[in-house]
Every structure is written in structure tokens, then in C-alpha cells.
Amino acid sequence: MKSKVSVIGAGHVGATTAQLILQAGIADVVLYDIAAGVPQGKALDMTEAAPLWNVSSLCTGTNNLADTAGSDVIVITAGLPRKPGMSRDDLLQANAKVIREVTSGTAGLSPGAIYIVVTNPMDVMTQIAWKVSGLSPRKVIGMGGVLDSARFRTFIAFALGVSSEDVEAVVLGGHGDLMVPLRRFTTVKGVPIDELLAPERIDALVQRTRNGGAEIVSLLKTGSAYYAPAASVFQMVRSILLDEKRVLPCAAHLEGEYGVTGLFLGVPAVLGKAGVEKVVELRLTEEESKAFNQSASSVRRLLEGMAQQ
């Protein structure tokens, strides 16, 4: 029996995610949105492309959450996008309402599903989805680290004139301005970037990574990134459905790892059919630990602020 993935939100990120899953032929896809006709039209268009992709998977568009029943993975992309001048945190209250509604509307229909949350601010939205779903924290995951690491890899490849495939990078912490790209664990074919780039050049690449989303928003002016976010989600979905057990940086629930308890934060994690099967705990330097704790405090403050409203 073919796996089933439901994508909540048929905007750019959601529709592109659905396309990548369908094109790979690893699951049937349900594309949900509140806008009448939009998910149906996009789903039909993708399904008509399936013969050209040599896959037999189907994409179904719907405005009814009941059609997501029995999903193996549920991806939540629904919510307001960032606009120029907005931080991810500016989206907090509006998107929290969306997350609560779609999670409560789908959790009972797919009790065995693993949730991947994309909606910003992602770390906080993942925490909300987990609480509303009632699922094990290992079955609720935030997409952020995969994207942040991909951006860091890209900028390093630009700087060195090498293939981004040969660059490996790890980014910890919240998916925001206080994310922590770990230069010590960033290599090009095994060679540490400290051996290849001057410290000030690496600092500039770290800062560009932190501003990666805002840079694209400022260029597009009427939208935000979606190709790279969708590709990041697809990598996570594939690792889960095919039980690949890839080590991917994502927002996982910490239970003492890195000295943090009860919070979803970006860390390397093994993703397989059970969701987060293991959090990989790295030995951080004092400076790295300080930066990670600052990022954790930022996410915690957002959660506390929401609780007071």
C-alpha cells in the first residue's frame, strides 16, 4: 500500500513540496487549502504531469480536512508569509491560530502520522502543534535546520568556487536571527572551512545565512522563499517514509540534550519511520554553548509571551 502525505497549505511552499513528493513517486499526496479551487487545480495539474514523470502516484486537492485521514506524514505550510520588513516573530499570533486549527482538525484523523511544521516562526509553531496534537514529541518535527544548513552550504560554495554537494554544514538553534551555524563542523570534502577561508569571511557567510530568508523576501517584495524550503521538507519526508535514518538538522524536542528541556530547537537528528529516532548531541565549546543558549532563550521568550496573551 502506497504511503500518504498530506500537505496543509497550497501556496508556493506547499504546492512545491507536493510536486517534489509526487515527482519522486514515494507517496500519494493530498493538498489541502481553504481557498476553493486552488488545491484542486494545482493537484490536477500535477497529476496530469505524473505520466511524464513516469510515476503512478496521485495528488488530490481538497478543501476538506477529512480527506487527510490515514496520512503517514502531515506537512503544515499554512499561514501568513513574511513581507519586507517583517521578522519571523511578527507572524506569531496570526500563524499560531492557523496551526492550532489545522492540527486539531487533522490529529484525530491520522493518529499514526508524523508532523513536519514549516510555518514561521517555526520553532514556536512546532511546539504548538505538538501540544495540540497530543502526539509523542518524537513525531512532531520542525523544518528549519535543513534549510539553514543548505543556505550556509550554498554561500560557502559561492565563496570557494566549489560544488555545494561537497560542503557539509551544521546549524543549531532556532530558525531565526540567532541560529548558530557551527563553523567547526563545517567542511569541504572533509577539510574544515577554517583552513580555507579567513575568519572575517566566515563571519560574513554566517550573517548572510542568518539573513537568508529576509534576503529573498527583500528581492521578491511580494513573497518569500519556497524552492529551498520545499526541497528541505522533501528530504525530511523521504527519510521518514523510506526509513533512511538520515542525520538531518531539524527542530526536535529536547529532553536534556544540550542542557535544554521541554523545547523544540534545531539540532542534528536521525529521521526514520518513527520520526525523530535519536537526537545527536555534539560537544560544544563554551562560545558555541553560549550562542545556543541565547537562541533557546529567544524561542522560550516567544512561548512565554504567547502564554501571557
Could you give the 3-state DSSP secondary structure of residue 253? Answer: strand
- Which whole number is the average pLDDT over 188-196? 96
How far is Cα 21 from Cα 120, in angstroms, rounded to an integer?
Answer: 22
Model pLDDT, residue 92: 82
How far is Cα 65 from Cα 89, in angstroms, rounded to an integer?
Answer: 27
Model pLDDT, residue 148: 94
Residue 228 confidence (pLDDT) above 80:
yes
Model pLDDT, residue 123: 93
Q: Which of 5, 233, 21 is nearest to 110 (CA)?
A: 5
Ranges 8-17, 111-120, 203-212, 296-305: which has the least confidence: 296-305
Paired strand residues for 192: 187
Q: Is residue 113 part of a domain?
A: yes
Q: What is the DSSP code (8-state) at residue 173?
A: B
The set of cell numbers assigned to 47 is 497529476
Q: Is residue 208 part of a domain?
A: no
| Phi, psi values for residue 260, rounded to 5° | -120, 140
Q: What is the DSSP code (8-state) at residue 222?
A: S
Q: Is 165 exposed, middle or buried (0-12, 13-18, 19+ CB in 10 A)?
A: exposed
Q: Estimate to the nearest angstrom the gap between the alpha carbon of 137 and the chain centroid.
A: 16
Q: Which CATH number characterizes residue 130's domain? A: 3.40.50.720
Residue 242 confidence (pLDDT) above 90:
yes
Q: Is residue 20 part of a domain?
A: yes
CA angle 18, 136, 132 (to 5 degrees): 70
Q: Is residue 267 part of a domain?
A: no
- Tell me what percent of the residues of the chain surpass a pLDDT of 70: 96
How far is Cα 1 from Cα 164, in angstroms, rounded to an integer?
Answer: 36
Residue 37 confidence (pLDDT) above 80:
yes
The conformational region for residue 270 under phi > 0 = left, psi -120 to 50 = alpha, else beta, is beta
> 275-279 and 191-192: which strand pairing?
unpaired
* Structural domain total, the chain: 1
Residue 166's CB is within 10 A of a number of other CB atoms, namely 15
Q: Is residue 181 part of a domain?
A: no
Catalytic residues: 175
Beta strand spans in the chain (E): 4-8, 28-32, 59-62, 73-76, 114-117, 140-142, 167-168, 171-172, 180-181, 187-188, 191-192, 246-255, 261-272, 275-279
How far is Cα 205 from Cα 203, in angstroms, rounded to an integer?
Answer: 5
- Which whole number is the average pLDDT over 227-239? 98
- Which residues, other chains included, contact 133 with Cβ-Cβ below 8 Å and sequence gap of 6+? 103, 107, 115, 139, 140
Side-chain-side CA neighbours of 101 within 13 Å: the count stands at 15
Residue 87 confidence (pLDDT) above 70:
no
Q: Is residue 88 part of a domain?
A: yes
Write out the residue range of the structural domain in which residue 23 sits: 4-142
pLDDT band at residue 255 under the 50/70/90 scheme = very high
Ranges 107-111, 165-169, 210-214: which has the least confidence: 210-214
Are residues 284 and 184 in contact, defined by beta-carbon separation less than 8 angstroms? no
Q: Is residue 231 part of a domain?
A: no
pLDDT band at residue 147 under the 50/70/90 scheme = very high
The conformational region for residue 221 under phi > 0 = left, psi -120 to 50 = alpha, else beta, is left
Q: Which of 241, 216, 245 is nearest to 228 (CA)?
A: 216
* pTM for the structure as a whole: 0.94
Q: Which of 93, 113, 88 is nearest to 103 (CA)?
A: 113
The set of cell numbers assigned to 260 is 535544554
Q: Is residue 163 part of a domain?
A: no
Q: Which of 107, 6, 109 is nearest to 58 (CA)?
A: 6
